[in-house]
Amino acid sequence: MMKIFKLPLLITLLLSMLTACGDSEEKTVLRMGHTLDTEHSVHKAMEFMAQKLAEYSNGTMEIRIYPSAQLGTEREMVELLQIGSLAMTKVSAAAIEGFVPEMKVYSIPYIFRDRDHRWAVLQSDIGKALLKETEAAHLVGLGYYDSGSRSFYMTDTEVNTPVDLISKKIRVMESQTAVKMIDSFGGAATPISFGELYAALQQGVVDGAENNPPSFYLSRHYEICQYYILNEHTSVPDMILASKHIMDNLNEQQQAWLNRAVADSVELQKQLWLEGELEALAAVKEAGVKVIVPDKAPFVRAVSNFHSSFKGTKVGLYLEQIVEKDQG
């Protein structure tokens, strides 16, 4: 449920939606929320998206961005999209498993061979088909942003093999697949929203978490966590989602402008992401964090039953296509 302090902003959004997709002579304003810092590559890519949309539409369309969880958690913003009270958001594919079960495939560990394989999948018919699955939840998948690979980070435990994770409380997203993965490693999965994680680490509610290097750095979790372990267990992409209600109220030309602006932002974000990963790892090392590069083989073995557990399901069919996809 939306927290009380966010109600005034939500009311403003609801009222402003009355003109957001109305008379063609009015400027069409699309409001877009996300949970990340304004220095994150996602926010910078969204700003570029807004610039390109204004350019393509000759100023008749505008994107207004609300960063840093101003409009709530990822789940809360998806719910706003479903009722047409928010136009767009960025969410982790893992965060919408409850809305779109097929997205579980992206949270299965070690399904991508490397970054090139991942993008070959995301930009293929496989990735497009998974974006289309969102329509059943009154959403429209517009594209993917790079979110790199997720790895563990711990407050005071050096992790070299899955054995070091046994009984450790690890924060995960609200994803049943992520919970099962942590169970396979021997840890105790603890779903907590990203905005509450700093305090949870500080207060010892959890012993660690898992995320990509830029999120670890920009969230300042390195102030509490001494170890970052580059085991790279999952590569869950971020998704750019729109409200189906609002998209259906845009004409074909407006939709084309928006899709073009999104595609432009995807290419920029991919480049910013690569730069941000290197900068983040260098920065946390300088801050005193020990970055561990373990042998991945024991981690892969620990979750080897994941793939077979989806056999005979729709998720399993997507998984087979992903694993078999070449990079050409």
Q: For residue 322, give Cα distances in angstroms to 124, 240, 251.
A: 10, 20, 34
Statement: residue 57 has pLDDT above 50: yes
pLDDT in tens, 85-132: 999 999 999 999 999 999 999 999 999 999 999 999 999 999 999 999
Residues 208 and 140 in one domain: no
Residues 23 and 125 in one domain: yes
User: Domain of 36: which CATH number?
Assistant: 3.40.190.170
pLDDT in tens, 300-320: 999 998 889 999 999 999 999
Residues 229 and 169 in one domain: yes
Element housing 243 (H / E): strand 238-243
Residues 88 and 154 in one domain: no
Residues 129 and 192 in one domain: no
CB 100 within 8 A of CB 137: yes
Please give the residue range of the domain that contains residue 242: 4-147+237-278
Residues 199 and 245 in one domain: no
> Domain total for the chain?
2
Residues 114 and 158 in one domain: no
Residues 12 and 154 in one domain: no
Here the tokens at position 226 are 């001494």
Residues 140 and 191 in one domain: no
Residues 77 and 52 in one domain: yes
Residues 97 and 183 in one domain: no
For 20, residues 6+ apart whose C-beta sits below 8 A from its C-beta are 28, 29, 30, 31, 87, 246
Residues 35 and 173 in one domain: no
